[in-house]
A and B are shown apart, each in its own frame.
Chain A
Amino acid sequence: MVVNGQWRGSLHEILCGMWEPSGAHEGIQSVDNDSAGTGSELDSDSDIISRSLAEPELFAQIFTRHASAIGGYTRRRLGLDAVDDVLSETFLVAFRKRATFDGNAESARPWLLGIATRVMHRHRRVEERQWLASAAEPPHSVVSHEESSDARLDASSAVRDLGPRIAALSPKERDVLLLYAWGDLTYEQIADALRMPIGTVRSKLSRVRRKLAPPGSKTAVRVAWMAKEETNAVAG
């Protein structure tokens, strides 16, 4: 489909070969062969994206470097079935908007994770089903003597119990939490990725900690204490 001079084909349309440009099967290599384009592997993401404005094929290196991580993040949030759609959309958007990439940012990963997060909002119902399924998941079976120790069982139980509490977070709180815990982004990177002030990221994460801690637990008390400390520190 051509819209305002831009091509807007659906995934199905592309794969069914209704439109097939020349050279369609050359170019982006698998993760193991990250030599797409002519950019050096030593170039920063920022350099590659900047040069890709004149040489679009260089953008393939950004895919090679980050697709696996973005795909893993997507799978973890929405399941494997959603990876094709979300990853495709994320890199299409990133490619089309590459001129807006902040050249001061060394890595493109926070930017890509931000785009992926927004794309995933369209799949909110899928994610809700994922969290509800997690909530319904039975306890993992104990398979060895070592694993049957109380500490191990407690740890396993603590992780499993997080599911319903994460499910109950607001969408934005969940975005912040998962970009921090699963995306390994810093507060500043999350702020850039989600286009929100860093203070908002800090306060949301602080609130998330309180919500995730089991009520009345030592952790909850500790978290509440830490939040107070943080507030005092910010207040100065």
Chain B
Amino acid sequence: MRLLDDVREYRSDEASVEDDDLNVARQVLQLEIERSKPRPAREKRRRRIGLGVGLGVGGLGAAAVGTFAVLSIVAGTVVAPPGVSSASAAEVLERASEAALAQVDAVDAKLAPGQYLRVETTMDQITTDRSSEDRPAEAGAFRRHTVEIVYVPADRSQDWIVETKADEVTGVYGPEGEEFLRSVMAEPQYGEASVRAYPEGIRTYGDVTQPLDVYRDQYGEMPRDPDDLLRWFETPDGYAGLAILNALYQNLPPADLRAALLGALARLPEIRLVAEDGDLATIERNNGGWIQQFVVDTRTGMLVSIIDPPRHPNDIVPEGLPDNIQTFTMSVVDSAPTPTP
């Protein structure tokens, strides 16, 4: 059938990998196979203390950092950080964790009936003429600013309101930037302005439902002890960093859980502190050379932003502009906009 043939053809040029791309998984499995073999009692592995230990050992921690000017975000403005203090990422996240605990009342109980927790998420994303191929830009790129505001009702069983602003183009780069932008704008567009209501904050995709705060159904079972919580994320499949950041997204979990999530992040070996600017700390997560940064407000324990540094620095996009920045701003408001038909 033609339609499914078309699907088969879609991204068919990306349907293979080189043998080298399998090396990491091959090593991981080999280690697991070795571990599973019966053997005399192993020497107890030393417990990791803090975060600096792991990153000092391997070559992965240093990958690509030097090419990116570390940024922190203050009220949507990109500012250069003053530098890195002697604090470790673990200490910083521990401070943020304590701050989150101190916020329990503010976040969980101080919404009066009828009020809303307003969570504004902005995203500034670079799209280049080679983004889809994961290669450096060749001749054109543009930057798009999107805004989504979630209004969480004091009674979370009521309608959650999601307001999406119309996208704005905030920069066009390269000799063929305008032409590239026009070609993209001719495609079906996302992010058109809208206001939608989601009963109990649940989105529906066909017959599938999903809460806006994706881990909501697990909040109750998630341990509040950071070590236990890290194990909760790592069981049964392992990798936790991305999942923890996803859980923290938009700061929607209850504050005691956010504190535990920050504490669990502090225990990951692949993160390090790269900058501190007042209450804002920029933490970097390096997952095998794939770098992501997140900014935490150590005074409030809130996740302030997530930054994807340039994967392929090039001459088209101005130096220092990250591929993507998402920022989260929280406030309490008395009303929410009315959903559009």
Contacts and interface: CB of A to CB of B under 8 A. Distances in A.
Interface in A96-118: 96
A89 B287 CA distance: 14
A21 B35 CA distance: 7
A93 B57 contact: no
Contact of A63 (B7, B8, B26): B26
B288 A11 contact: yes
Nearest to A119: B237
B80 interface: no
Contacts of B205: 169-173
Interface string B1-35: 11110111111001111010110111111111111
A163 B10 contact: yes
B231 interface: yes
Given A16-B60, A21-B34, A91 B16 contact: no
B132 A207 contact: no
A207 B206 contact: yes
A49 B35 CA distance: 17
B17 A75 contact: yes
A182 interface: yes
Contact of B9 (A57, A159, A178): A159
A177 B210 CA distance: 20
B28 A92 contact: yes
Contacts of A26: 30
Give the contact-size bracket for chain A. 35 or more
Given A11-B288, A170-B208, A87 B234 contact: no
A79 B53 CA distance: 30
A162 B206 contact: no
Contacts of A67: 22, 25-26
A52 to B, nearest CB: 9
A22 interface: yes
A34 to B, nearest CB: 11
5 contacts: A11-B24, A12-B60, A15-B60, A85-B242, A92-B29
Interface of B: 1-4, 6-11, 14-17, 19, 21-22, 24-37, 45, 48, 53-55, 57-58, 60, 127, 129, 131-132, 134, 180, 183-184, 187-188, 190, 205-208, 210, 231, 234-240, 242-243, 246, 268-270, 286-288, 290
Interface of A: 1-3, 7-28, 30-32, 56-57, 59-60, 63, 67-68, 71-73, 75-76, 79-81, 83-85, 87-93, 95-96, 119, 122-125, 132-139, 155, 158-159, 162-164, 166, 169-173, 177-178, 180-182, 207, 209, 212-213, 219, 223, 226
